[in-house]
Amino acid sequence: MATTYRKQATAFRCGNVNAAIWENTGENGPFFSVSFSRPYKDVEGNWKVSSSYGLNDLDALSFVTEMAKDWVRGHSRP
């Protein structure tokens, strides 16, 4: 059975860093995955999204990672 992709379960943000948690269904039942992103404006003023982080983003990345980890642990089956 293939993985069925569902919907965004929740999201967290700190500064310019976002964490999105996705609920999926696989052979062993539901599971969660997390994606991280950092929106920014290019030189023309258009919004873009990056998955690259600079020194100033690392504390925020760490914070949303911990928040996401705690959320997934609290919503996963034992």
pLDDT (average), residues 52-65: 96
CB neighbourhood size of 12 (10 A): 19
Residue type, 78: P
Percent of all residues in the chain with a pLDDT value above 90, rounded to a whole number: 77
Chain-centroid distance, C-alpha 5: 15
Question: ∠ CA(39), CA(70), CA(60), 5° rounding?
Answer: 30
- What digits encode the pLDDT tens for the residues 25-47? 888 888 999 999 999 999 999 99
Transcribe 28-45 into DSSP letters.
Answer: TEEEEEEEEEEEEE-TTS
Closest CA to 75 of 27, 26, 33: 33
